[in-house]
Structures are given as C-alpha cells and as structure tokens.
Structure 1
C-alpha cells in the first residue's frame, strides 16, 4: 500500500509538472489525490486543509515577508551603488577587476537583500554597462553576475535557511546564519578565481584605484549599509532578538538608511508593498503546499522507505552523501529552492543523521546544493534575470557558465566532506 501511494504521489506530481501546472498546484493536487487513495473523502479534504493552514502558522515564518520587504526597500534605496563602489576598493587592481567588483557586490548586496534575483538585477544594471564600455564580452559579464548572485541565499540573513530551520525540526536559526558565512564566501571566491583566469586569457583591462581621499569617502558611505548585517546578525546571534524581530529591525533600518540617502519617497510605498505581497504570497503558498506534501510523505512513511532504499544501495557514508548531492543538483534544475528544501529535507535529513551528521552541516549541504539551481537551465531564476539584464541569450551564456558550475560544485563537495567549514563559526559563538 505504501509503495503504491508513493508511486501515485510522485507520478501525479511529475505528470502535472510535465503538462505545465504551477509547482505549488502540482504539489497540492498530487498530495490530495494520494490522500484520497488511502483516506475517506471528507477526512482527506479536512486533513489537507488543516495542514495547509498550520503549515505557515509559525512566528518564525513572519521573518520571511519582513526580510523580503527590507530587501525591496534597500534595492530601491541607493544601497547597491554604494556597495559596488566599496567592492571596487576591495578587489584592487586584479585583471578583470570590474568582474570581481560584480562578484563581491553580489556577495554584499545579496546577503543584505537575501535574494539572488534582486542581486542579479541590481548588480547587472550597474556593472554590465561599465564592463561593456571597457571591452568585456557580454557573455563574460553575464556569467560572472549569474554565478555569484546565489551567494546571497547562503550568506545571511537568508530566508532559505529560515525555511530549513522550520522543516528540520527547529535547528537554530542563529547557528544556521553563522554557518552560512564561510560556504557563501567560498562560493564567491571560487567564482572570482574563474573570472580571474578568463580575464587574463582575454586580456581585460584593470580598473584604476581611486585616490586615498575617495577611498576614505567610499568606505565611509558604505559603512551604514554594512552595519545592517552587523546589527541584524549580531542581535540574533547574541540573543538580543529573534530572527523575526531581527527582520523587523532590518525593515526599520533600511527605511531610515534610504531616507538618509534621499532615495526613499512616500509615493514609492504602494509599489514596494505590492511587490512584497506578491513575492511573499508566492513563497508562503509554496511553503503551505509543501507542508501538505511533507505530511503525505510522513503518513505514508516514505522518508523511512527512501532512507532504507538508499542505505540498501550502500552503507558507505561518502557514497550516500554523493548520491544525495547528485539528487539535489538534479532537483535544483527544475524546482524552486523553497519547495525543494521543504520536500527533500524530511527525506534526506534522517539518512544524514543516521551516520551522525550535524543538522546544521546538512542544512548547508542541502541549501548550497539546491541554490546552484538558481544558475542552471531550464528554470534558474538568477540565470533568467542575469541574461535579461545583460540583453544576451541563455544559450550564449551557458557555455561560459560551465567552468563556474564546475568550481561551485567543487566547493559544494568541500562543504559536504569538511564539516568544520560549516560548523566552525557556530561552535566559535557557542551556538
């Protein structure tokens, strides 16, 4: 019975996706159909409705719309331009320095906005014209922007890590936030290494450093933006406020900062709120749909069955981790990261814990692996936005992206097999 129910669940889900159904609708319909197979009609419908409501009935979940609102305000508040100037100072006189500026800018702005799409759009609009004027190929500029944009999903504050915290049974958000720094920075540095060698090969120009006086003012103007990370993450780690309260602080701080920068107008508020509602509605609908999907899997004992199947293939820890990583990379190519985290965490976390893996470490593996899907066809959101901003076709950019795929996957393997990359900072801060 369980095997048949599992077959119905996944067959219905992929059938609906194949025929173009939105992923949230596919998740809900496949879950309800499976419940109808094993439960009376009224019980199946009532249970499904209750689970979808309780799936988002969580105080920590409020952090997601607040971080989204904060990111949108900052995206419209002149913060990205100041971070680009700061990134220029950091990269110095490296070959292809504008590409490195783009990568560092994505790490900084992406971590503040918490969105790979917002980061790719903001950095792409600023950096692509500058790189074009200095003779950079559009495919090169777009590839660097696309490959580095997802770092903001790993470097905190990150709504993806909040979702993982909820579905993993309450893993500390503060610990996950601290764990995200080193993997996220390694991702960005790996992109910069590839960009460096490509720039050397193409003999791209080196930007001139500003004067010492200008450097001082650039750093000074960027400090308020960078302080947001210190205040929010520092407050959460120190226990001054929760992740939700930290998100509220981020909103207030971003509004104040945008007013100081004179980029915030009251007439912009309706558009900001509408965009926030649209993005939040999409995320929460995916979460509530995935909560129902997880309930069906749990009721059918599918996670245990899948775990047993994996362990029957091999009891070698390295082999199991490689299988999980392969599945995550495959899933990331066609599924958004939020539902993927919600669906696959209950399946793979028990397997990882069966051989003693820390849930914080596993959180980095699953989030990192699925985030790579942001830069891969056919549904990579950072890929689409990066190509759109650069006005270049996806098929033209993908060949240039291949070396970036390779180094980012190498970093993922490093994160997977060297636990201290993820656990060092949480342990250092006693989390």
Structure 2
C-alpha cells in the first residue's frame, strides 16, 4: 500500500498529463483519482468506494437547482427577454458617452442576473447589440471587449449556479447568503466596466444619445418589468424564506416559460430542444461534481490540503500576503480552468486557510467566484472571451489589447472586495442570513 505522499504525487501528476494530451477535465479528474485510489484498495473495493463517493457527491437536494436555472437561462436566450432588457438599459443610460457600449454593459448585468450565465449574456446581448454598434460606427474590437468584460457580472448577481456549486464544495455555506453577498460585487463589476468605456468613448468622439420622450421610456420600462420581476420573485422568495433556492429555480422555469409564451417568442415545438440543451449542460456539471467527490476523498486521505496550507503559512504569516498569494493562484487557475472544476477542486483546499485567517466562508466564496469570473474572460481558456469573439466575428488577438483596461480595473476591484469584507457581507448581515 502506497503512503500518502505517493498517493498525492500520483494524483497531482496524472491529471495534468491527461489534460496535456487532450483528455477532458472531468475525465482526467476521474481517471487520476481512480489511479491514486488503486494504490490503496483492491479493484473490487476501489470500484465500490468510487461509486459511493460519486453518489454521495451528487446526492444533494440543492443541486437540483442547477438544471432548472440552466433551463430557465436557455429559454430566456430565445424568449424575447434580451431585447426588452436592452431597450430598458438604453433608456437608463443613453445620456452617457458611448451609449450603445454602455447599454451593452448594463444589459449584460441584467440578463446575466436573470439567466445566471455569463456565456449566455455575452451571446444574447452581444449578438443583439453588435449590428447596432457597427451601424453607428463603433470600433468592433472595443465593443466586443466591453461585451466580454461585462458578461461575467451576471455570475455574481443572483441567481448564480457558481454559488450553488461553491456551497456544495465548501461543505454547506448558505446558498441564500451567497446569493445576496454577490449583489454589490456584481453591480460594482458592471460599474467598473463602464469606466474604461466612458474614457474610450470620449477619446473616440462617441456621443451620447438623445433622451427619448416620457411616453417611449415609460413603455420601455413597462415592457421590461415582467423580466426584471423574476429577480425580485426568485431572490426575494429565498431571502424571505418563502421557498428554498431549489424551489426558486423551479419557479424561475415556470415564470420565464409563461413570459416567453406571452411574448410569442417560443412555441411548444421548441421545448424538446430546450430540454436537450439543458441535459447536455447539466450532465457535464453533475458528472464533474461526482468525480470531484472521488478526488476530494483522495486529497483528504493524502492530506494535500494540509500540505498546501502548511506551505503557504511557511512563506509568510501575514494574512494580507497570504490572501494576495491565494488570489494570484486563483486568477491563474481561472485562466486555464472553467469555474466549476476550479471551485470543486480548490475550494476544499483554500477555504480552511481563509477561515483560519478570519475570513467568512461566504466572503471567501465571493472572492473565489470573482477570481474565476476574471478567468472566463482571459486566455487561453476564457469561455466568455471565445463566445464574445465568435459573436463579433473577431479573432482572440483582436480583443486582447482592448480588454487590458477592463482587466486592470477588475483586478483592482478584486483587491477591494478581498480586503473590504462589508462589500460582500453587508447585505447578508442586514438580511439576517449571517451574523
């Protein structure tokens, strides 16, 4: 039987090798974990233990929220909601220089907050705004960069699947508290993206647009209210205790389905396709959660979290430096990994270190998601970057330079969220969700 060091070495070397040869990350996690487990148990016992770990990992009532929120987001993408949110956002901020880019940013915040998906926001809002921006003479590279940079805001503003996954990986952090904690950082993310856009618009000579008359703005607001009410119903119901996050996800599906039928933008024939897309997305997430449970068990056996914690604490005993180091590690992880596997793998490792330094698990959850959201717009993985470039028909290298000012201001905001806990914890405390 191998010792803990050998087990950890097998785990930490096999997964990168498998990833390097092109094996999908979830399969790499599973194979690497099974190889490490094979050094401990016989084949029969290994198979039984792995199956038990997978079942225990996915046997969570709160995980049922994920497929329903994914389904709600899928319906919304083609349900006519994006156009109404764009019109509402334009009515709100048309007086700011570079109005169409600012509209893109605000609409991404609104759509992402309702759908919970940064990728969906970049595709739906960017796809609708791109032709308008092109017709008005906007630089397509900077417009695409603004769309990409602002899309992850919806991953912080609830409802958010990433917070549900973090709740599971953290061992029980309150989903309701995490949802509420994401509001201020998510809104600040959007505002931060508006700042470079204003400077660029003034430099390029983009003007603001004329305010529409009261009647037009009133109609636009009325059209958007039903879509915006989903946030009020879902999050308000969770905070007030009327229903759980899982029940809220079901209500979200019913609500957006009825709304889309009333808008006459979907038909009964489209529902099987929505369900198929949801199954494809959810199955990947759930499979990853299952195999990460095996890996978590192996890491605990090999005491990998304790080794990493000891290594960090041996470098410095300054909480500020340790948190900066962890932020840097998570930023780098976000560049090469999707948020879901990164949370599942590294939340159990970093959370004990953060709590030992006095950080609240909810606060750390916001930090982790914030870091990984930056990763979604950063090469080489950057799923939102790839979607945004595809929608704008641009190459990755075309938007890297325009993205730099957004990236710098978001990293500065990350530092503020890290060292000003009330930005994350103020609202949950006020709502009585945490002490």
Q: CA deviation at 1:375?
A: 0.3
Separation in 2 of the partners of 1:347 and 1:179? 22
Q: CA deviation at 1:200?
A: 1.0
Separation in 2 of the partners of 1:384 and 1:210? 35
**Residues 1:341 and 2:343 aligned together:** yes
Query: Residue 106 of structure 2: which of 104, 107, 117 is its match?
Result: 104
Other-structure match for 2:323 = 321
Structural mapping, 1:152-231, within 5 Å: 152-231=154-233
Asked whether the equivalents of residues 134 and 205 of structure 1 are also in contact (C-alpha less than 8 Å), the reply is no
Other-structure match for 1:122 = 124
Q: SS state of the match for residue 208, structure 2? A: coil
Any unmatched runs of 5+ in structure 1? none
Other-structure match for 1:138 = 140
Q: CA deviation at 1:356?
A: 1.3
Query: Residue 352 of structure 1: which of 351, 354, 357 is its match?
Result: 354
Any unmatched runs of 5+ in structure 2? none
Structural mapping, 1:390-401, within 5 Å: 390-401=392-403
Query: Residue 54 of structure 1: which of 32, 53, 56 is its match?
Result: 56
Structural mapping, 1:263-412, within 5 Å: 263-412=265-414
4+ runs of 1 displaced by more than 6 Å?
A: none
Superposed CA RMSD in Å reads: 0.9
Asked whether the equivalents of residues 94 and 103 of structure 2 are also in contact (C-alpha less than 8 Å), the reply is no
Separation in 2 of the partners of 1:211 and 1:73? 32
Query: Residue 72 of structure 1: which of 74, 86, 105 is its match?
Result: 74
CA deviations 1:371-420 (Å, max 9, x no partner) are: 11110111111100000000011111111111111111111111001000
Q: CA deviation at 1:3?
A: 2.4
Q: CA deviation at 1:41?
A: 2.5
Separation in 1 of the partners of 2:240 and 2:343? 27
Other-structure match for 1:33 = 35
| Aligned residue-pair number | 431
Q: SS state of the match for residue 55, structure 1? A: helix
Separation in 2 of the partners of 1:304 and 1:91? 50
CA deviations 1:20-43 (Å, max 9, x no partner) are: 110001100111111112333322
Separation in 1 of the partners of 2:171 and 2:285? 19
CA deviations 1:250-296 (Å, max 9, x no partner) are: 00111111111111200111111111111111111111121221111
CA deviations 1:156-197 (Å, max 9, x no partner) are: 000000111111111111110000000011111111001111
Other-structure match for 2:250 = 248
Other-structure match for 1:23 = 25
Asked whether the equivalents of residues 139 and 400 of structure 1 are also in contact (C-alpha less than 8 Å), the reply is yes
